Amino acid sequence: MHLIECPWCGPRAQVEFTYHCDSEGLPRDWESEHETELHERMLNRTNAIGFHVELWNHAGGCGSWLLIDRHNRTHDIRSVAYACNGRSGGK
Question: Which residues are at the interface with other proteins (CB under 8 A)?
Answer: 1-3, 8-16, 18-22, 26-27, 30-31, 34-35, 38-39, 42-49, 52, 54-57, 59-65, 72-75, 82-91
- Type and span of the H or E element at 36: helix 35-43
User: Could you tell me which residues come within 8 angstroms of residue 3 by beta carbon, excluding any fewer than 6 positions away?
Assistant: 11, 12, 13, 14
Q: Minimal distance in Å, beta carbon 89 to other proteins?
A: 4
Residue type, 75: H
β-bridge mates for residue 77, sequence order = 70
C-beta closer to other proteins: residue 8 or 69: 8
Q: Minimal distance in Å, beta carbon 6 to other proteins?
A: 10
